Amino acid sequence: MIIREYTEYREEEILRLYSEVGWTAYTENPLLLKQGYKNSLLVLAAYENDELLGVIRAVGDGCTIVFIQDLLVFPAWQRQGVGTALMRAVLDQYRHVRQIELTADCTEKTVAFYKSLGFSEFSAIGCCGFMRC
């Protein structure tokens, strides 16, 4: 597996990835998703040969805050270290940044995954989060 910057947006593979993981709210407006990728701070992709396995997308200023917007891995490649490798690559890239945040589904599997990478729930560090959808 190779992780590299995702510099050439390939709509077909990105829409397939989002669809296969069930994030169809993003696929309803492909133009907005493409613009989101364009405006991202960093997008990394994991590949096996030329096959896309997953992506991670970060937004923020890269100095004081980074927000992990998306971490998606094709279902056939989940639980094989792809998501961990992508996250570690971002954490390494922004190791100087004090605040790296993300929001995720509140499932036992998801919570365990992010805790294994050193993340804490907001409540554990005396914070709370808010979102407007």
pLDDT in tens, 62-118: 999 999 999 999 999 999 999 999 999 999 999 999 999 998 888 898 889 999 999
Alpha carbons 132 and 121: distance in angstroms, whole number:
19
Domain boundaries 2-103, CATH class: alpha beta
Q: What is the number of alpha carbons within 13 Å of residue 61 lying toward its C-beta?
A: 6
What pLDDT, on a 0 to 100 scale, did the predictor assign at position 48? 95
What pLDDT, on a 0 to 100 scale, did the predictor assign at position 69? 94
Average pLDDT over residues 57-62: 96
| Contact partners, residue 90, CB within 8 Å, separation at least 6 | 42, 44, 56, 58, 66, 68, 100
Tell me the β-bridge partners of 51. Answer: 48
pLDDT in tens, 1-56: 999 999 999 999 999 999 999 999 999 999 999 999 999 999 999 999 999 999 99
What pLDDT, on a 0 to 100 scale, did the predictor assign at position 124? 86
Closest-CA residue to 68 (of 49, 46, 86, 51): 86
Question: 82-93 and 108-116 are packed helices; what angle lies between their axes, rounded to 10 degrees?
Answer: 40
What is the pLDDT confidence band of residue 130, given thresholds at 50, 70 and 90?
confident
What pLDDT, on a 0 to 100 scale, did the predictor assign at position 16? 96
Largest Cα span, the chain: 44
| Sequence ranges of the domains in the chain | 2-103
CA dihedral sign, ordered 115, 121, 126, 130: positive
Q: Work out the angle at residue 4's Cα, subtended by the Cα atoms of residues 54 and 19, and round it to the nearest 5 degrees.
A: 20
Closest-CA residue to 90 (of 50, 64, 62, 110): 62
What pLDDT, on a 0 to 100 scale, did the predictor assign at position 80? 94
Closest-CA residue to 71 (of 95, 52, 54, 88): 54
pTM, entire model: 0.92
